[in-house]
Amino acid sequence: MGPLATRIHTALHRELAAEHIELVDESHMHSGPAAETHFNLVVVSETFDGKRLVARQRLVYGALAAELRDGVHALTMKTLTPAEFSAAAGPVANVSPACRGGSKAD
Amino acid sequence: MGIFNRVKRKLPVVGGGSGSPSTPPGAKAQPGPARPQAATPPPRPASAAPAGGRGDKAVDEFLAEFVQSKPVVLFMKGSPQMPMCGFSANAAGILLSYGVDLASFDVLSDPEVRQGIKDFSQWPTIPQIYIGGEFVGGSDILMQMHQSGELKEMLDELAAG
């Protein structure tokens, strides 16, 4: 696991008491040779309970503010409560789209 | 819901806004003598938005108006017809599939809007979607709302006024 991925795990455990994390570095799907720029995340946390998707995603962006600043350009995510996660059948991660070349920094 | 009335009042704010950074229509296309500043200026075609779609407006002022300019507003990279990012392409594709009245803005055409919309929405990524003038989220959220049926409900509600 790369240094940014390690930091993402640490921050999500610390800030959101994440119970389960799936993190895939998808940088190879995008422009340029850089690694650790595009991530696909599934995060399961009780703190999402009763919150709408926008609020949940804001919590994740808040927890990862430093990582977003330090090179994470794109982060596709699923945010679930433990109950939603255990009720889900099959994989829950988003299917990432192909890059179209207009990347860089968001 | 007053959104359509608000929309009507502010109608000619920008002409689509999805324009690329290329020359605005009419700016260079007339090699003839400059038009005299007649007392009755020719009517401006609706598509003659100022370069980048924002004109001289301050970014915050422009954004506050633009998010209300249509029932559905999309900030993206590229245009719905030629998206420059997979996430933007997804968002545009979902919205177009509902046949909604959509205003889009290409953030690649205006660096100040590109940063400004992130501050305005308190959201660090592009694309961003507004429905009925309210921030809805980015492409992940739009996709989930599309799959759950929540997006259809929201758009139906908006159309019903």
Give pLDDT tens digits for B82-109: 999 999 999 999 999 999 989 999 999 9
Confidence of residue A16 (pLDDT cuts 50, 70, 90): very high
A22 inside domain: yes
Number of domains in chain A: 1
Instruction: Kindly state whether residue A92 falls inside one of the protein's structural domains.
Output: no
**How high is the pLDDT of residue A103?**
55
Residue of B nearest to A58 (CA): B123
pTM of the model: 0.77
Fold of B51-156: Glutaredoxin (3.40.30)
**Domain-located, residue A36:** yes
In angstroms, the CA B44 to CA B95 distance is: 29
Phi, psi angle pair for B110, to nearest 5°: -155, 100
**Residues in Cβ contact with B59 at an 8 Å cutoff, skipping those fewer than 6 apart:** B112, B113, B116, B120
Residues of chain B falling short of pLDDT 70 = 1-52
* Pairing relationship of beta strands B134-137 and A20-25 according to DSSP bridges: unpaired
Whether residue A99 is contained in a domain is answered as no
How close, in Å, is residue A73 to chain B by CA atoms? Answer: 8
**pLDDT confidence band for A32 (50 / 70 / 90):** low
B84: nearest CB among A68, A76, A102: A102
Asked if A106 and B126 come within 8 Å (Cβ–Cβ), the reply is yes
Structural domain spans, chain B: 51-156
Q: Enumerate the H helices of chain A as residue ranges.
A: 3-16, 53-63, 65-69, 82-87
